[in-house]
Amino acid sequence: MTSATMRPAGTGGQRAQGRGLGLVVFASVVLAVVGIFNLIYGIAAVANAHVFVADAHYVWGDLRFWGWVTLIVGVLQLIAAPSP
């Protein structure tokens, strides 16, 4: 007796193992792209580039502090990206 949730023997073998791999690769690529952008923004903020608004007031910290935070987050994203 089989129920609707049980699969007969021999189904789902090799085909089921590769399912979702494309989504994992896509997420990894998106994470790498966002990490690269965060690296660029972080370097620009640490270097006090003229890309950002002059005389901006921050609730906590300054432009350099948030530049270092963004730079560290970007590095962590790039480390996590090639996981598949």
**Which residue type is seen at 27?**
A
- Report the predicted TM-score, pTM, of the whole model to 2 decimal places: 0.70
- For the chain, the domains span 28-80
49 close to 82: Cβ distance less than 8 angstroms: no
Q: What is the pLDDT of residue 5?
A: 65
The pLDDT of residue 10 is 57
Residues 31-44 pLDDT 10s: 999 999 999 999 99
| Residues of the chain scoring pLDDT < 50 | none
pLDDT at 62: 85
User: In angstroms, how far is CA 23 from the centroid of its own chain?
Assistant: 13
Cα 52 to chain centroid distance, Å, stands at 23
Q: Are 42 and 74 in contact (CB under 8 A)?
A: yes
